[in-house]
A = this chain, B = another copy of it.
C-alpha cells in the first residue's frame, strides 16, 4: 500500500449482515472494499494479489478460512490476513499464526477494535515492520496487542500480570530481584510492600499453569525470580 492511496480490503464472511456492516464501516474509513461470501470465491479473488489486507472468517461454506489461508500461502501470496473467529474455541484446530495469519479478531467484535487491528496490520505491511513478539519456549508474548499465548492457547492476563510477565520475559533466563521488578512494573518512586511482587508471581503461576505451563517462573531464594531456563 502506498501512502495516500486507498487501501484495498477483501472481506470474506458468509453472513450478509456482517459483510454489509464491514463494507459500510471500512468505506467510511476511506478504504476500498470487495466482499466474498464463500471460500472458493475468496481464494479466486485473493489470488489476484491486488489487496492490501484480507479479513477472513474461519467458518465458511465450501472451504474453511484456514484452508483458504493455507492455499494462499502455498501459492506465495503474502497479502496480510486477519482471521475472524466466531468463538474462542474455534482457533484450536490449527495455529493460524503458524499458517501465516497476521492477527486474530474474535466475534462478536466491536468495529473499532477490528479497525485498530486492521490499521496496525496495514501499517506493518507498508513499512515492513515485523510483529513485536517475545518467544520463550512455547510461550509467545505479543507486545503490541499485550496478549500471551502458550502452545496456541490464549493466556488471559490482567494488565499488571501481563506487565510483570513481559518484564520477566525481556531478560528470560536471568534472575530479577523483587526490587527491580517493583521498579519496572510498579513504577519508580514506589514505597509499597515488596509482598505485592510475590502475590502477582502467584497469580501469574496460577494462570500459566491453567494454560499448561508449569515451572516456567522459578524462585531463586534470596535473589528473585527467573523466567525459563538459566542461560
Contact = CB atoms under 8 A, between A and B. Distances in A.
A142 interface: no
Interface stretch (A55-63, A147-155, A184-192): A184-192
Contact of A189 (B107, B170, B183): B107
A184 B25 contact: yes
A186 B110 contact: yes
A29 B166 CA distance: 12
Given A21-B183, A129-B123, A184-B25, A112 B171 contact: no
Nearest to A184: B111
Interface in A93-141: 107-112, 116, 119, 123, 127, 129, 132
A210 interface: no
A76 to B, nearest CB: 24
A163 interface: yes
A18 interface: yes
Contact of A188 (B18, B171, B185, B189): B18
Nearest to A28: B171
A1 interface: no
Nearest to A188: B108
Contacts of A29: 170
Contacts of A163: 110, 112
A111 B112 CA distance: 28
Interface of A: 17-18, 21, 25, 28-29, 107-112, 116, 119, 123, 127, 129, 132, 143, 163, 166-167, 170-171, 183-190
Of all A-B residue pairs in the complex, the 3 with the closest CB atoms, nearest first, are A111-B184, A108-B187, A108-B189
